[in-house]
Structures are given as structure tokens and as C-alpha cells.
Structure 1
Amino acid sequence: MQYIESFTLPDEHAEWKFFIDQKSKAFTTYYPFQLFPNKHLTNLTFEPVTILYGDNGSGKSTLLNIIAEKLNLTRGSLYNRSSFYEDYLELCDYQLRQPIPSDSAIVTSDDVFDAMLHVRALNQNIDDTRTDMFKDYLTTKFSDFHYHNMADYDKLKKVLDVRRKTQSRYVRENLMANAREWSNGESAMQFFDQKLQDNHLYLLDEPENSLSPQHQQELAQLLTDSARFFGCQFIIATHSPFVLAMPHAKVYDLDATPVVAKPWQALPAIQVYAAFFAQHRDEFEQ
């Protein structure tokens, strides 16, 4: 599915005209001006999956934020917004193939990290409750309890339950039976499973952060299926070879001048991976 077809950034002439019209020169930075003209990047065209590749500082995140703000996408985390952001956005333009669904969003690694911290807090609560239940088990098991009347019935049930079970079984069966402790990678994948809805546009900024290679492959498959079968469009900034290798993805190399679309296998980082594994091929074959 395609919602946005293309996005146009101001060219060098448009940026210079802006600077000439500026009355105040008392700024040390005009961010996000002066980032992309040197890369000869003025127009991006999109596919159902479009990927922005580049080293740190290449402008991937900035470009995603510019697109997200121009399209008024929802967001969770703050970002680097300068005094000149609105001026820059006014010089940008875009073409839609069809209207962008409401609640389409930009999702950053900070959003994923916040979700992981929330799960970590839940896990800590589970740990604290488990510790309390260990103590309660021992106190109950070795208590000098005597049944007197029906008012003691619930206490009797608990004592009998404790005395016929091991400590681990008792805690396991009574500790939030439907709760589960998640690893960071599992928490991140759970976040994406819940966040990504059918028929939406999503801009993802380095979604592979905190994910193991296995989970990165699972994420790439989730994104592939969401685009192919469930009407989603993705624009992704990433370093992950597993995400870069998504079928039919259009990959822009922001390290190149001019910025051009390339096969993922031709990207410098992928060539480094390929050379490394070729160098150690014999060790894998032993």
C-alpha cells in the first residue's frame, strides 16, 4: 500500500533565498537548513517499504522528522526542533497517492525504550511480589495455626494449600498467573506487535535498537507482512542488514553524493559484513 508518493526538500536556490531574506544573522545554526543541498537531495519517491541508510550524522533521523512534521503524523518522543523548523517545513512539499490514515505515526527508538522501561517496572513489581510471597509461604507453613470456627476457614485453606505444595509451586501458581516477565528484545517485539495497526503509514527511526539478530529478523518479517498483506507503508531509517534486506524495499544511501537508491547488497556497511564473513568462511565450515 502507498499513501505518500513523493517528498520534496528545498534545493540550494530555495535555501539561499531564505537566508537572503533573513533580517537577523545572529544564529550559529540554521538547522535543518544546510544539511541536504550538499548531498544533492531534493526529492524522494517512495515504495510500500522505503529505507534510509547512512552512517551516524548522515541525516536519516532529521529527514524522518521533517517528513513526519510536514505530514502531521502522531509522535510520542520529543526531537531536535530548532527555531527554523517551521520555515524549513514551509519550503517542503509532498504528493499523496491516497489520504494518509489518521493515527499514522513516527516511531523512534526512544518510544521503544520507554515501552521497555515500562515493562521493566512491571517485572520489578513481579520480583518484589515474588519475594513477599516467598516470605509469606514460609511464615504460613511453619505457623502454629489452630482451627477454631468458620471464621478461620480461609486461613485453614491457605495453610493446607501451602503445606501440600513446594515453595516454588505455590509462588508460581499464585503470582499473577497471567503475568510474564519479558526480556528487552521480547518487550520491543511486543511493542511493535501492538503498535503497528493495519492500513497505516509508519515512519520508523532505527527500530532495530535493543533487538538481537534473531529479533531483528522477526521484526523484518513483521514489517514485510504488514506492508504486503495488511495495507501498511513504511519509511525506515536503519543500520540493520536484516531490515535492509526486506524484499522489494527501496533503499536510499544518504552517505552517497548525490543521494541515490541502491541495492542493499551494494551498501558500504553490507560490504563490510560480507568481507568479514568471507574472511572467516573456513571457520564456519569447520
Structure 2
Amino acid sequence: MYLKRITLLRDDISSFDRYPYSIPAISSLNELELTKSVTFFVGENGSGKSTLLEAIADKCDFHTAGGGRNNFYEVHAAEASLSEHIRLSWMPKLTNGFFLRAESFYQFATHIEEVDENGFKDYGGRSLHQQSHGESFLSLFLHRFKGKAIYLLDEPEAALSPARQLTFLRIMRDLTANKQAQFIIATHSPILLGYPEADIFSFDDGRISLTRYEETEHYQLTKYFLQHREKMLAELFADE
């Protein structure tokens, strides 16, 4: 474990009526304790999970459109004002790591295309643009992710088939086996959320709270759909 605690510096915020401080889960935050090598952020779209993850990435000096501390490229990145009002507590502090933002991964791949001088050694020996979207994600996970580092991933399942999500679970297990790596992942995937012994923080209901895998809407809705597909579809498509 490296990143131990995330603290919202509430006294420094002039108003909780403006974004992103107006997001209920963010406005209710005081401190978030991290105790596991793998932590998941879950919640509906707009609940604040990606906003907090991005602020952590910005505080780590990672490129907020995706990358590490040494990736510099011009691209429209989301506003990271929340990072101005959070404090990260480390033991020990890390400078190595990566922020994956699924929606802007294409721009990151273009940046690597322009600056790589090592034959894409950190990406499986091929340009990320010469691989499928899912292959390029796995190449990143397999070849660039290594050593003592913190990895912040925003919806990594976006490019991964269910089978490759299982492959990614094994990659995470290998990287955290000797407590070398720490992952914080914002996801909607019930497969990824099934990672053993991970902490899952829900951003729903206007607060950030620890929850069990079986209590997540992702698990419950997916399970219900698989067990009652015809009934659920009939209700969904019923004429009003």
C-alpha cells in the first residue's frame, strides 16, 4: 500500500454550490481511507467517481487525459479543479504510475506514436494504433505496468471483452502479489468488481461508502438479467 488516505480540504473551498464540489458524494467527503492494494469506485454516471479519480491523477502529476508523469501532450482534458482541494497521504510516496482514461486513450496512443524511440518496447513491440482497442489496453497493462507504482484506471473495461477482463484480473493479481502495485479503478464492470479482497466504494446515495460486491447494483442487475432475461426484456419493451 502506498496511497493511504484522500482528504478533502473543506475549509479551503469557498462554495459547495459550484461544480465539482456540488456533486453530493464529493460534498459529503471528509477523508477516504485506503487499506487494500485494489480499490474500486462504483456509482451511476455523474456520481463523482471519475471526478475524484482524475483529481488524484492530477495530484500525482499524471496527465489528466491519460499517461504518467513524463507524458506531455496537448489535448483537451477535463477540468481538474478538485485536485486543488484534496490532500494525498502516502507511505511511502510514489512517483511512478499511470492514469488510464478510456475516453481519451486514442490521444495518448497518438502521443506515443510521435515520441517513442524504443520500438514500442513498453507496448508489446507494436504501435498502439496498429492494435485493436482491446489489444492496446492489454499491451499497456502487460508491458508498461511494472514495479512499484500506483495505477489509476477510469473504466478500463471499455475496450475489453469479458474474456479479456478476466485476463486483466490475472494481470492485477500478478502485479499486486508482492505488494508492488496499487490500483484504484472506476468501473461499471461486475467482472472486474469480483476481484478478491478488494475494497469497493459506492458513490451513490449522495455519499462515498464501503459496500460488498453482492450489494452493488452492477452485480444485482446483471445477475437478475441473466436469470430473468425474458421477463426483464418484456417489461422493458412493454407498450405503455
Provide closer, same or farther for how the CA distance between residues 256 and 44 of structure 1 changes in structure 2, counting only shifts above 3 A. same
Confirm or deny that 1:52 pairs with 2:69: no
The 2-side partners of 1:262 and 1:232 are apart by 23
The 2-side partners of 1:184 and 1:267 are apart by 28
Deviations 1:18-44 (A, max 9, x none): 149xxxxxxxx8332222467622221
Q: Partner of 2:134 in structure 1? A: 185
- Cα drift, residue 81 of structure 1: 1.4
- Cα drift, residue 118 of structure 1: 9.2
Confirm or deny that 1:232 pairs with 2:181: yes
Confirm or deny that 1:34 pairs with 2:34: no
Provide closer, same or farther for how the CA distance between residues 251 and 37 of structure 1 changes in structure 2, counting only shifts above 3 A. closer
Normalising by structure 1, report the TM-score: 0.63
> For 1:6-21, what aligned pairs fall within 5 Å after superposition?
6-11=5-10, 14=11, 18-19=14-15
Q: Partner of 2:91 in structure 1? A: 97
The 2-side partners of 1:35 and 1:10 are apart by 15
Structure 2 unmatched ranges of 5 or more: 67-75, 113-124, 231-240
- Cα drift, residue 106 of structure 1: 1.4
Report the 3-state secondary structure (helix = DSSP H, G, I; strand = E; otherwise coil) of the residue aligned with 1:276: helix
Amino acid at match of 1:3: Y
- Cα drift, residue 89 of structure 1: 3.5
Provide closer, same or farther for how the CA distance between residues 193 and 256 of structure 1 changes in structure 2, counting only shifts above 3 A. same
> For 1:1-286, what aligned pairs fall within 5 Å after superposition?
2-11=1-10, 14=11, 18-19=14-15, 30-36=18-24, 40-46=28-34, 47-77=36-66, 78-81=76-79, 85=81, 88-100=82-94, 102-110=95-103, 112-114=105-107, 182-229=131-178, 231-279=180-228
Deviations 1:72-109 (A, max 9, x none): 23555452116xx2xx4443222212121x33221111
Identify the structure with the greater helix proportion: 1
Normalising by structure 2, report the TM-score: 0.74
Provide closer, same or farther for how the CA distance between residues 228 and 268 of structure 1 changes in structure 2, counting only shifts above 3 A. same
Identify the structure with the greater strand proportion: 2
Identity of aligned residues (%): 27
Q: What do you get for the CA RMSD once the two structures are aligned?
A: 3.1
Q: Which of structures 1 and 2 has the larger relative contact order (alpha carbons within 8 angstroms, sep 6+)?
A: 1
Equivalent pair of 1:8/1:92 in contact (CA under 8 Å): yes
Structure 1 unmatched ranges of 5 or more: 21-28, 120-177, 282-286
- Cα drift, residue 224 of structure 1: 2.2
- Cα drift, residue 201 of structure 1: 0.6
